[in-house]
Amino acid sequence: MLPEFDALADSRAGVWLMNDDSTQLQRVDSQHVVVIDFAQPGNAGEIAIGTAVVVVANGLGQLDVYNATTGVAESQLKYGVNFSDVTPTAAAVDGDTVYVAIPGHVLEFSIAKKAKIADVTGLNVQRLSVGPHGVWGATDGSVVQIATS
């Protein structure tokens, strides 16, 4: 029996629910149950789900990458020495690339390279969206393109 789940992670790879204690994520739309126990329980921060991975950007300066099929943790990436305790405001996955918005920055990570590859500074993005027009961030009073189609 699941505890009270009321967070539904927006996803193109299944329907995932997170429990209120932010300790685990569970896929609920398939007979094949996948449960992800967070490496940092209670610090889930922002969650983004791609076709093959689930990423959890936490408030401890790190991005945890999990296999969406098995639920196994695959890698852990760092935001950087200056961002060890920042809280992310949004996260998005686009293929191999993960975007994490933190105050004043949008960080870009490569899952394959297991590394941060760019830092777009000066942006206070509140929401990220991946869609037909590319990757966009919504800030307070504007929309900004992060990556083009």
Distance CA 113, CA 38 (A): 22
Nearest to 27 by CA among 88, 144, 35: 35
Nearest to 40 by CA among 94, 93, 78: 78
Task: Count CB neighbours of 139 within 10 A.
Answer: 15
Closest approach of other proteins to the CB of residue 143, in Å: 5
Span interacting with other proteins, options 31-39, 62-70, 71-79, 85-93, rule CB under 8 A: 85-93
Distance CA 53, CA 55 (A): 6
Should residue 103 be labelled a site residue for other proteins when binding is judged by CB under 8 A?
yes
Tokens of 123: 């942006």
Closest approach of other proteins to the CB of residue 76, in Å: 19
- Give 73 or 138: the residue with its C-beta nearer to other proteins: 138
Should residue 64 be labelled a site residue for other proteins when binding is judged by CB under 8 A?
no
Nearest to 54 by CA among 112, 12, 1, 87: 12
Span interacting with other proteins, options 31-39, 68-76, 102-110, rule CB under 8 A: 102-110
Residues between 34 and 63 with contacts to other proteins, criterion CB under 8 A: 41-43, 59
Question: If you search the block for the tokens 């990556």, which residue do you land on?
Answer: 147
List residues binding other proteins (CB under 8 A).
Answer: 1-12, 14-17, 20-23, 28-29, 41-43, 59, 85-87, 89, 94-97, 103, 108, 110, 112-113, 117-122, 126-136, 138-149
